[in-house]
Amino acid sequence: MYEYIPGIMREAAKIMLSAHDIDAAITEKTGDANFVTKYDVAVEEFLFAELRKLLPHAVIIGEESDNNHTELIRSSVALIIDPIDGTTNFIHNYRTSCISVGICDHGTMAYGAIYNPYNDILYRAERGCGAFMEVGGKVIPIHVSDRALADSLTGYGTSPYYREELGRKTFETAWALFQHTRDIRRSGSAALDLSAVASGAIDVFFECRLSPWDIAAGSLLIEEAGGVIMQFDGSPITFEKPCPIAAGNPRALKEAMDLGIFR
């Protein structure tokens, strides 16, 4: 069943790549700088329609869905979808956005895939089977890095929908991390940042609040690639509500946690 999902995601990505006059297609949602375009909705509708054929009884958890059944995630199979992760990037034609699809089986991630249509790279993982990157027709196993924190390239997200509540905390945490690493990056797509952790390009990543669709697929990628993902206090992440996340290779992330960077 899972082998059909990358093809469905690539078909959905054609909607993204066909986008034009995006500014005229924007609607603002609740939260600061929280936008949705008609393309987000179209991609999500396409994904749900096609993935429902594979999993007809799955509950739906999607960023643009009106009925997110997060309360059923521990008792059901759930499709957790972000149709365009990095919508603000998409609006600005920054070309750093992706499609994220996760399948959660009674609270445990079973499958995750993240597709960046701008460079045609797909990341995927199935529980117990490792993590892989598909690029240029090749399937390449991926693994987190083993760099120490001092040698790390790190990433972060700004939780822009919650800037009044979390903005200062975000940048204080980024500053603390920056002081102990080689450098720090901000892409604007949490899913792509988690993929970068899984593939060893980024060594540590954090964001003060992310939703289930932001982290579902990426969390499994990181775990299957030998990495660690957790909440700031070290507890497991949850797909039932938004939460803070810290992720990375075990060595660098432990050093960051020992320094008290994530509070």
Q: Top-level CATH class of 2-141? A: alpha beta
Is the pLDDT at 23 greater than 80? The verdict is no
Question: Distance between CA atoms of 88 and 136, rounded to whole angstroms?
Answer: 27
Question: Distance between CA atoms of 107 and 104, rounded to whole angstroms?
Answer: 6
Question: Distance between CA atoms of 246 and 171, rounded to whole angstroms?
Answer: 15
Phi, psi at residue 13, to the nearest 5°? -65, -25
Rg (CA), the chain: 17
| Inter-helix orientation angle 38-54/5-17, to 10° | 160
Residue 60 — pLDDT band, cuts 50, 70, 90?
A: confident
Q: Which fold has domain 149-258?
A: D-Maltodextrin-Binding Protein; domain 2 (3.40.190)
Q: What is the reported pLDDT for 97?
A: 97
Strand partners, 243: 210
Give the count of beta carbons closer than 10 Å to the beta carbon of residue 67.
8
Contact 77, 106 (CB under 8 A): yes
Helix, strand, coil share of the chain (percent; to 5): 35, 30, 35
Strand partners, 135: 138
Domain boundaries, the chain: 2-141, 149-258
Q: What is the reported pLDDT for 20?
A: 82
pLDDT digits (tens, 9 = 90+) for 207-253: 999 999 999 999 999 999 999 999 999 999 999 999 999 999 999 99
